[in-house]
Amino acid sequence: MSLSEKRPLLPSNIKKKGTKPVLVIHGGAGTLDRSRLTPELRVKYIAALEQALLAGNDVLANGGEALDAVVAAVTVLEDCPLFNSGKGAVFNSAGKNELEASVMLSRPPSNRPDILPTRRGIGVTLITRAKNPSHLVRALYLAPESIHHAFLSGAYPEDFAASRGETLVDPSYFWTEARWREHRRGLGLPEDPLPYPSTTDSSDAPLDQLPKGTVGAVALDAQGCIACLTSTGGLTNKLPGRVGDTPTMGTGFWAEEWKPTGPLARLWRKLTRKPLRVAVGVSGTGDGDYFIRLNAASTVAHRMKYLGESLDKATSAVVEDLKLNGGLGGLIAVNQDGQVALPLNCSGMYRGVIRTDGVPKTAIFDDEILA
């Protein structure tokens, strides 16, 4: 099983003269059953992935910030019942939705010079009323004068975001028939009667059953900032109060920028009279407990930083380590040159990439290429 996408289909078109934006997304990874994917359902998945890519790219193509681009992309996936986030979130063992999200930047947005580089990012967990957790974490990140922490849970972050204009909903908003039935079936409980009338088409039952995945996006903007954003409903039938890798900094998400040292860095400075800069953003999806145990996302950056590995090598090594330890999943990542990596160690990961040509490329199963 290949751990990364084939290079010819994901060429780097970044020129040294300037940064060209790129956006990569995922809609979750795990055990995806190809036999259940009807042509009609495949069309719906691809359409949602393409819509997310185009929404984020619209921000980047107009000179916008990476932060706003990843929010735009993830919002589309949060609003689609096919994915385990927002409207399509799974239930815990008590039959409740407890959502999680996070955001992290390699450097502050260019339009917010008041935000210190050390702020980095923020995660939230046990969210029950924020319609779009992606909007919530952006609101928290952009409020350094009020939110000093890197990790929050429960009602307070939701109420704060609402005071900044974000939308809260009744918890029943997140209910979908497909996720409810898999929750009840997974616990060996009767599926009927339903607690609410079904509002989704039965043909929209998600391909992933008892999912462990998330949705996420990583973007590089024209200003050179990389932002990553991840959003999830967590594990199906997780214990109430369980906290996963999605909001836990360094495990399910990471973004960092640094200046390398050593002979090559010194030669670069001598030739260009500019310091060499390396940056990376990572969003993970899969068995979150294993991502936590291996500190997966930040390990990608540390392998690049301390071992001098390429983006492809570092991400593939981390995903292989996850597999060796019993964790299925995948990663999406972008570096400062616009190179992308999308390795996975399982049967599938909803994924896509869009570059300055504005053409969205998507794939689902592990043997598919981005096209």
Using DSSP, state whether 33 is helix, strand or coil. Answer: coil
The answer to whether 49 and 350 are in contact (CB under 8 A) is: yes
**Residue 282: per-residue pLDDT:** 98
**DSSP secondary structure letters along 6-67:** -GGGS-----TTS---EEEEEEEEE-B-GGG--HHHHHHHHHHHHHHHHHHHHHHHTT--HH
Predicted confidence band at 205 (pLDDT cuts at 50, 70, 90)? Answer: low
Tell me if 140 is assigned to some domain.
yes
Cα separation, 205 vs 209, in Å, equals 9
Q: Is residue 14 part of a domain?
A: no
Classify 28 as helix, strand or coil: strand
Asked if residue 7 is part of any domain, the answer here is no
Number of domains in the chain: 1
| 3-state secondary structure (DSSP) of residue 276 | coil
Instruction: Determine, yes or no, domain membership for 148.
Output: yes
pLDDT digits (tens, 9 = 90+) for 12-65: 333 344 689 999 999 999 878 888 889 999 999 999 999 999 999 999 999 999
What pLDDT is stored for residue 16 in this prediction? 41
CA distances from 174 to 18, 80, 159, 206 (A): 42, 11, 18, 15
121 bridge partner residues: 104
Give dist(CA 252, CA 170) in Å, integer.
Answer: 27
Residue 4: pLDDT above 80? no
**How many Å apart are CA 349 and CA 285, to the nearest integer?**
9
Separation between Cα atoms, residue 19 and residue 348, nearest integer Å: 31
Read off the tokens for 183.
């929750």
Residue range 118-127: average pLDDT?
98
Helix (H, G, I), strand (E, B) or coil at 139: helix
Catalytic positions: 214
Residue 18 marked in a binding site: no
- For the domain that residue 28 is a member of, what is the CATH number? 3.60.20.30
* 329 assigned ligand-binding residue: no
Q: 120-141 burial by CB neighbour count: b if 16+ within 10 A, else e?
A: bbbbbbbbbbbbbbbbbbbbbb
Supply the pLDDT for residue 262.
Answer: 73
Does residue 170 have a known ligand-binding role? no
Give me the pLDDT at residue 276, please.
Answer: 81
Residue given tokens 């399982």 in the structure block? 346
d(CA 322, CA 229): 21
Mean pLDDT of the 130-141 span: 98
Q: Is the dihedral of CA 216, 220, 221, 227 positive or negative?
A: positive
Predicted confidence (pLDDT) per residue in 342-351, tens digit: 999 999 999 9
Look over the chain and give the mean of its residue pLDDT values, rounded to a whole number: 91
pLDDT in tens, 230-285: 999 999 999 999 999 999 999 999 999 999 877 777 776 777 766 688 999 999 99
**Where residue 208 falls among pLDDT bands split at 50, 70, 90?**
low
Q: Is 287 annotated as a binding residue?
A: yes
* Statement: residue 108 has pLDDT above 90: yes
Structure tokens at 332: 């999406």
User: Residue 127 sits in which domain range?
Assistant: 22-365
Task: Please state, in angstroms and rounded to a whole number, the distance separating the CA atoms of residues 344 and 77.
Answer: 20
Question: Binding site annotation covers 245?
Answer: yes
Domain assignment of residue 191, yes or no:
yes
Residue 263 is assigned to a structural domain of this protein: yes
| 49 within some domain | yes
Answer whether the bond into residue 193 is a cis peptide, omega within 30°: yes
Does 79 show up as a binding residue in the annotation? no
Q: How confident is the model over 166-198, as pLDDT tens digits?
A: 999 999 999 999 999 999 999 999 999 999 887
What pLDDT does 211 receive?
59
- 113 DSSP 8-state letter: T
pLDDT band of 85, cuts 50, 70, 90:
very high
